[in-house]
Structure 1
């Protein structure tokens, strides 16, 4: 149980205060006091471990199932006593030109916030310390943690999008250079798969991000104070920028792939013309030599002393003429 709990702390008026180490006792203390909130962080919990936690916090069974199973789309689900948010984390690995995707879940209630991470790409390593240095933000309650997590994840998206853009510029220059390497289509397709995987993390998050900015009893998200909505609006703006970049990358990759395939087709046509031209040059002397190799008695110039060199001259002349013709036509 202790292995899955990364940290557990009580916060009042934006500051961390001493409290019980056991999360059950800490939650009971917060609820009894009627002010402050508990922030508990979990990492890759098993079903059995999370069942114990969910019983203490009274989490909805459907949200618990999603949190344990993972592999969910980014979303915000509202239950009677909690708000369940799913985020995809992303990190770009320069050495392999790959985007790795992780997952974060946040449970938000009136006296607690719970973060559940899946996968190694977690941006929460230093977030708690950074938030504890901003008591004015933490004073808004557990929703401030939700905002900070969303903001950090989207900032991570911006970093990944920038890295993808830089590597795509390098890939484009390399592919369209005169001495381009083989297997360009495979590299483009592999890069496109990374962009598509990244897009699956960023695009579905737009609707939940906008939902967190809305006011009104019918559309607002519970436990999110109105003072925090401008913060979530800033997150949505940054996410919109990320999605614009990702869409541009996806479109550009499709254009590059089409252009590369067109280049390959043109190159293949050039190669076929060259092969055909050389085959034609070889066919003329082969045909003439084949005719004279039939051993017929009555053949032109067969008994003339100059017949053999004359035939060779004819072969050479025809070949030179064809070579010039093909050269002028651009086939050679």
Structure 2
């Protein structure tokens, strides 16, 4: 089993970081927390190390990874240039849950970028992640490629225990335990290789907040957009089938006698509405009314319900308000993995 190493307190960090940095220097894999989700990292300037990430996750090698750097200056190692839109966003949101895609510097990070001539860069705000990246940079590791620390297409991890459960086949993997992730869904991804910049994946930061910093509207994704992490139609899926329903459809399903009793195919429900009477035996988790609170708990709820061995998870569609875009995106991709989706 993976080695979960406590690293929340300053004393624990001081004890854990040397071995963690040494693993990165040697090209080994390492799991660590960010404010969004836990990442499975390797030094981004080492093709063999990056290949270990793809192999461990079962991830296609042309599906790009995000490179995590210690600060804006660290981005220079991987960027051929930092366009004005990227610089504005970095100044406003780094460290934080935002990834910028910029032209990639030739000769570095090609494998992490999935072979593209652009690269996604992020500086996380989790204090443990920042301490790790700074120590790694001082040891000669310019950046750490790190997708979410789960098998490809599955539910992202927001606790160290989630990572250990995912990678039982990697007994030597160090998992730095920095506690639960504060944000809970992955970073927003902005393509800054062209103007106007384009939102490729929503996150905790709203499009309106991003546009306010850019002082310009975001463009629309099209066939010229680079491939980006976490943007496949089906993603973030538990083993159970996720059904995303509007409020009326969910209420009708819950009230039907056929839905109330499903032998051999138990149902869990995650909704803001009150679970109607007449649905005994269903697992019920109340969805908070605040989008940030839902983002924080979403992947943990999906994992908990999956662990209860339900066959289906019925989820109430989030409100249409743009502040729910990040949560809605993850739920839609989780539901897209359903057999008849």
Give the structure-2-normalised TM-score: 0.28
Based on CA coordinates, which of the two structures has the bigger radius of gyration? 1
* Larger helix percent: 1
Please report the TM-score for the alignment, with normalisation by the length of structure 1. 0.28
- Higher RCO (C-alpha under 8 Å, 6+ residues apart): 2
